[in-house]
Structure 1
């Protein structure tokens, strides 16, 4: 797999990052720059939670 000559490549890709990692870094920077009254709420919203539900087999 290769790009055509002269093709534009996203700068996060040029830096060797995946888009997921790039977006995580951006989110951290934005949260760090927030005013304290908004920071706590943003950090709470940033935590991920997953709920696993096992279905009953009938």
Structure 2
């Protein structure tokens, strides 16, 4: 899952807000840092959302 998908999954937050969230110490570590940006395991991001933002846990993907 890239930053764009995370933005969508978090309800359409801005790029800046997505960067702030993904830079938090409690956010999952990226699976890879590619030339086009960081990517995360979907399962890790979904678990973080379920724990930290339960109101967004039931959003359709």
TM-score (structure 1 length as normaliser): 0.26
Which structure exhibits the higher relative contact order, with contacts defined as CA atoms closer than 8 Å and separated by 6 or more residues? 2
Q: Hey, which of these two has a bigger chunk of strand by percent?
A: 2
TM-score (structure 2 length as normaliser): 0.25
